[in-house]
Structure 1
Amino acid sequence: MATLFETRKLGLPLMNLIRLEGLPILKQLHLEEELFRTSKDNWCIINDGTDDPTIVMGISGKPAELLDIKPVLHDEIPVIRRFTGGGTVIVDPGTIFATFICNKEAVPGLQPYPRPIMSWSSLIYEQVFQGIGNFRLCENDYAFGDRKFGGNAQSITKRRWIHHTSFLWDYDARNMSYLRLPKRAPEYRMARDHMEFICRLKDYLPRSTFINKTVEALGTHFSLESVVYEADKDPSAIKFMPTTRQLTREELEEALSATDLENCPAQYASL
């Protein structure tokens, strides 16, 4: 583990590294938001999988547009609205998460805007996937060729930015049916359905190899220091109130009702 003295000697900024396994995605997002809002340090969070299938939408996501709400309600799939932008994903034990939370000056010369941050992060994964597949940054996604395996979301403030990625290590094809084709899909998707648009990372390298290579690549830009996260922290001791939250069943039912009203014939719309 590098000391602060060694970090200064190397000329690399310090980054705290938290490695998790199976932390529920809501807890992970609460942790990310807390560190982003209240900490002055740089952080990397890697969470190897989550628990039950969960839908995560961006801060401005609308369930009626993005979800097939009836089966979501029937199967009791949790829906979370996170504090960052970006698209909608369904995550489960086959998803690997990697998040970078950085101060504005952490990466020399990096302009704190979405596209430069996206381009910089792709350099990390170019190191990870060197000689593996045909890795590309396609608009806001990570892909092999024209098939997506990583979706990204960001938030940027005056002094800090956060960039987090959901990697499709594996997925259950049935879960993809909960998601609608978004109105603002990337051009390279070319209206393909989910099964034609995405691919599994497990077809390219072992799970542990991907995680270890990510840490190794990040270590060429930062001096990493491992930090233990207390997942069972006493809730009464937590003063920060995150904005990331799970939508209630009532909210989803209201969205479904609004959708049904929009889709009904004109002669019944006023009834």
Structure 2
Amino acid sequence: MDKMIFHLLESTLPSPQENLALDEILLKMLATGDIPPTLRLWELPFPAVIVGRGNKLGLNVDYDACRKEQVPVIRRMSGGGTVLLGPGCLVFSLLIPFTEHPGIKESIEFILNRIGQSLQLRLLEEDRIELAGISDLTVGGLKFSGNSQRWIKNNCLHHGTILYGFPLEQAARLLTKPEREPEYRSGRTHLEFMTNLPLEREAIRSALTEEWGASAAEYDLPKDEIRELAQQKYEDTEWTESR
């Protein structure tokens, strides 16, 4: 893994649905050998609620508040909890081919330990980053990063969020108390549980690209396929409301 060469793709497509479609297509392209190991960085310029594949809408999202604020709600293909994206929330997507499947828990720990250590180098000593729950990163006991995965055989899509300048009160308005929560949350509200990592965006970007040795590369993205998948799946209310 240390010798694996990662390419960097910094690309935010116009809609949240297209961004989710791109992640799904990149995973398929990784599995067929059409792209190398990749670190993708993206950030929506407006808020959007992204629901985990197995989440129940009524137990995670305040639909009325989302409609009132015209915030789209979309279901992704990976597991994990419901998140609110938008300005101040950097999303990273790691596409990694493993020689054999290490297990979900093991792969999450491997990836998040590396990311956490790289970010830690850029923080004050008293700001301690820790892996908490199944797939969260915390600083000072407060969550700033949530993560989830999707696999095709031994090929992994690991995507996660890093809050650095996010309006946390927006999450409190648009998301309900989750149906499942890690033990360390201890019943805390969103505002009591979440925080922004005290780093600038460029410092976070630098930590991620340096840790994975990722350098910018040209990608011939299948734009028509991305748009078709976005329309047929991620813009389909039947898919979003399937649970």
TM-score, normalization by structure 1: 0.76
> Which deviates more from structure 2 when the two are superposed, residues 168-177 or residues 151-160?
168-177
Q: Find the counterpart in structure 1 of residue 22 from structure 2.
A: 31
The answer on whether the counterparts of 2:164 and 2:199 sit within 8 Å (CA) in structure 1 is no
The answer on whether the counterparts of 1:138 and 1:188 sit within 8 Å (CA) in structure 2 is yes
Aligned residue among 226, 229, 234 for 1:241: 229
The structural deviation recorded for 1:131 is: 5.9
Aligned residue among 94, 103, 109 for 1:113: 103
Taking the aligned partners of 2:112 and 2:130, their CA distance within structure 1 comes to: 8
Q: Find the counterpart in structure 2 of residue 151 from structure 1.
A: 146
Aligned to 2:109, the other structure's residue is in SS state: helix
The structural deviation recorded for 1:240 is: 7.0
Q: Find the counterpart in structure 2 of residue 79 from structure 1.
A: 73
Q: Which runs of 5+ in 2 are unaligned?
A: none
1:90 aligns with 2:84: yes
Aligned residue among 140, 163, 167 for 2:162: 167
Which residue type is aligned with residue 33 of structure 1? E
The structural deviation recorded for 1:151 is: 0.5
The answer on whether the counterparts of 1:112 and 1:156 sit within 8 Å (CA) in structure 2 is no
Q: 1:229 to 1:53 in 2, by over 3 A?
A: farther
1:206-244 per-position Cα deviation (integer Å, ceiling 9, x unaligned): 22111112111112xxxx34223578x753x66973675
Taking the aligned partners of 2:233 and 2:217, their CA distance within structure 1 comes to: 23
Q: Which runs of 5+ in 1 are unaligned?
A: 1-10, 256-271
Which residue type is aligned with residue 12 of structure 1? K
Q: 1:77 to 1:247 in 2, by over 3 A?
A: farther
Which residue type is aligned with residue 117 of structure 1? S
The structural deviation recorded for 1:181 is: 0.9
The structural deviation recorded for 1:111 is: 4.5
Equivalent pairs, count: 232
Q: Percent identity?
A: 23
Taking the aligned partners of 2:71 and 2:102, their CA distance within structure 1 comes to: 35
Taking the aligned partners of 1:113 and 1:240, their CA distance within structure 2 comes to: 32
The answer on whether the counterparts of 1:78 and 1:246 sit within 8 Å (CA) in structure 2 is no
Larger Cα Rg: Structure 1 or Structure 2? 1
Taking the aligned partners of 1:208 and 1:23, their CA distance within structure 2 comes to: 22
Q: Find the counterpart in structure 1 of residue 49 from structure 2.
A: 55
The answer on whether the counterparts of 1:81 and 1:244 sit within 8 Å (CA) in structure 2 is no
Aligned residue among 2, 12, 20 for 2:3: 12
Aligned residue among 178, 190, 194 for 1:182: 178
Taking the aligned partners of 1:217 and 1:91, their CA distance within structure 2 comes to: 24
Q: 1:241 to 1:71 in 2, by over 3 A?
A: closer
Taking the aligned partners of 1:111 and 1:159, their CA distance within structure 2 comes to: 5
Which segments of structure 1 move beyond 6 Å, counting only runs of 4 or more?
A: none
Aligned residue among 185, 190, 200 for 1:206: 200
The answer on whether the counterparts of 1:83 and 1:244 sit within 8 Å (CA) in structure 2 is no
Which residue type is aligned with residue 98 of structure 1? F
Aligned to 2:11, the other structure's residue is in SS state: strand
Aligned to 2:229, the other structure's residue is in SS state: coil
Aligned to 1:76, the other structure's residue is in SS state: coil
Q: 1:123 to 1:38 in 2, by over 3 A?
A: same
Aligned to 1:210, the other structure's residue is in SS state: helix
User: Alignment RMSD, CA only?
Assistant: 2.9
1:197 aligns with 2:188: no
